[in-house]
Amino acid sequence: MLLQGHPGPIVSAHWLNEHANDTDIFIVDATVHLPDTGRDAKAEYLNEHIPNAIFFDLSDIADPNNPLPRKAPTKALFFEKVGALGINNHTHIVAYDTPGLYSSARVWWLFKLFGYDNVSILNGGLRHWKQCGYSVTERIVLREPCHFESLDKRDLLALQSEVLHVSRSGGEILDARTPGRFSGTEKDRYPGTRSGHIPGSHNLYWGNLLNHETREFLPKKLIEKQFRASGVDVTKPTILSCGSGLTACILALALDQLGHTGWKVYDGSWDEWGRDHTLPIETHS
């Protein structure tokens, strides 16, 4: 159930600047930097962030029993973790990340997975926020822990066994990684993974959905064109994959904007598939 006046899954920097002090707005910095970048997302948050923002640690709000990072937690653990941040069932969460749009879409997906829709992504993230001249701060705001009530989990998560079945049966799989990583001509960013892609999958690099300067989503007509060019039929049930379950959520958010609901995110993605030598791969585009 959406809160009254909810603006939808994507909000502009102008909208957030106008509503940042609304009592129901809860801003979260959900930045993730992969180890090969040499960057520390939490340290960057402590140095500067949007006023009133809380750090939403996707490495902590995750399954502690999965050896791979940032995998979806149980419903009970998710509700416990977000409640501890001060989020309740009357909260409108607005998530952003430092690069503009990279990891924050996973916050939208996680809440949607567990039945909560009152989440928006800041279009263009911190990058565009600063381009607009809006303020940042070092000041840390703490919220009182809240109770987040249980909701019905949705079927938006694909596990390895389902992905293997879809691959073997000729179903729709769309990979958000760069063309080089997808084809196997570029070394993958996750140590220990092979190079290539899930057999039968298509490729749509997530960055092609964004304005390269502002990091905002392209107009819907251009997004739709990118999906058509990928060769995947998004009117059919579609598995979305990437490196580790982050940017696949950008594809999910884009499909949601186009009105498509028949998708799931492969949470393990290439970090899981690529290192399991019992699974097949392809190395051509």
List pLDDT tens digits, range 177-188: 999 999 999 888
Which pair of structure tokens corresponds to residue 205? Answer: 């690099």
Residue type, 242: C
Answer whether 173's CB lies under 8 Å from 167's CB.
yes
CB-facing half-sphere around the CA of 226: CA atoms within 13 A: 23
Give the 3-state secondary structure of 177-244: CCHHHHHCCCCCCCCCCCCCECCCCEECCHHHHECCCCCCECCHHHHHHHHHHHCCCCCCCEEEECCC
pLDDT interval class at 270 (50, 70, 90) = very high
3-state secondary structure 22-55: CCCEEEEECCCCCHHHCCCHHHHHHHCECCCCEE
Q: Is the pLDDT of residue 13 over 80?
A: yes
Contact 210, 218 (CB under 8 A): yes
Place domain 157-273 in its CATH homologous superfamily.
Answer: Rhodanese-like domain (3.40.250.10)
Is residue 247 within 8 A of residue 102, CB to CB? The reply is yes
Phi then psi for residue 164, to 5 deg, are -60, -40
Question: Quick one: which of 110, 70, 27 has its CA closest to 190?
Answer: 70
Class of domain 10-131 as given by CATH: alpha beta
pLDDT mean across residues, the chain: 95
Task: Annotate 138-162 with three-state secondary structure.
Answer: CCCCCCCCCCCCCCCCCCCEECHHH
pLDDT at 27: 98
Q: Identify whether 132 is a catalytic site residue.
A: no
Lowest mean pLDDT among 8-17, 25-34, 144-153, 211-220: 144-153
What's the angle, vertex CA 56, arms to CA 109 and CA 115, rounded to 5? 30
pLDDT of 239 over the 60 cut: yes
Quick check: 128 and 214 in contact, CB under 8 A? yes
187-226 tens-digit pLDDT: 888 888 999 999 999 999 999 999 999 999 999 999 999 9
Does the structure show a pLDDT above 70 at 1?
Answer: no
Place of tokens 């949601």: 256
pLDDT of residue 64: 97
Place of tokens 């809860």: 26
In this prediction, residue 5 carries a pLDDT of: 74
- Which residue type sits at 278? T
- The single residue of 132, 146, 242, 249 carrying the catalytic annotation is 242
CA-to-CA distance for 175 and 244, rounded, in angstroms? 11
pLDDT reading at 285 higher than 80: no
Do 10-131 and 157-273 share a fold? yes
Question: 127-167, pLDDT tens digit by residue?
Answer: 999 999 999 999 999 899 999 988 899 999 999 999 999 99
pLDDT band for position 280 (cuts 50, 70, 90): very high
pLDDT of residue 250 exceeding 60:
yes
**CA-based nearest residue to 208, from 261, 259, 251:** 251
pLDDT given for residue 272 in this prediction: 97
Q: Measuring CA to CA, which residue among 184, 170, 194 is closest to residue 270?
A: 194
Residue spans of the domains in the chain: they are 10-131, 157-273
Strand order in the sheet with 263-266: 157-158, 263-266, 238-241, 172-175, 202-203
Cα–Cα nearest to 44, from 97, 4, 116: 97
Name which of 108, 91, 59 is nearest 217 in CA terms. Answer: 108
pLDDT, residue 150, reads 80
Residue 259 has pLDDT above 70, yes or no: yes
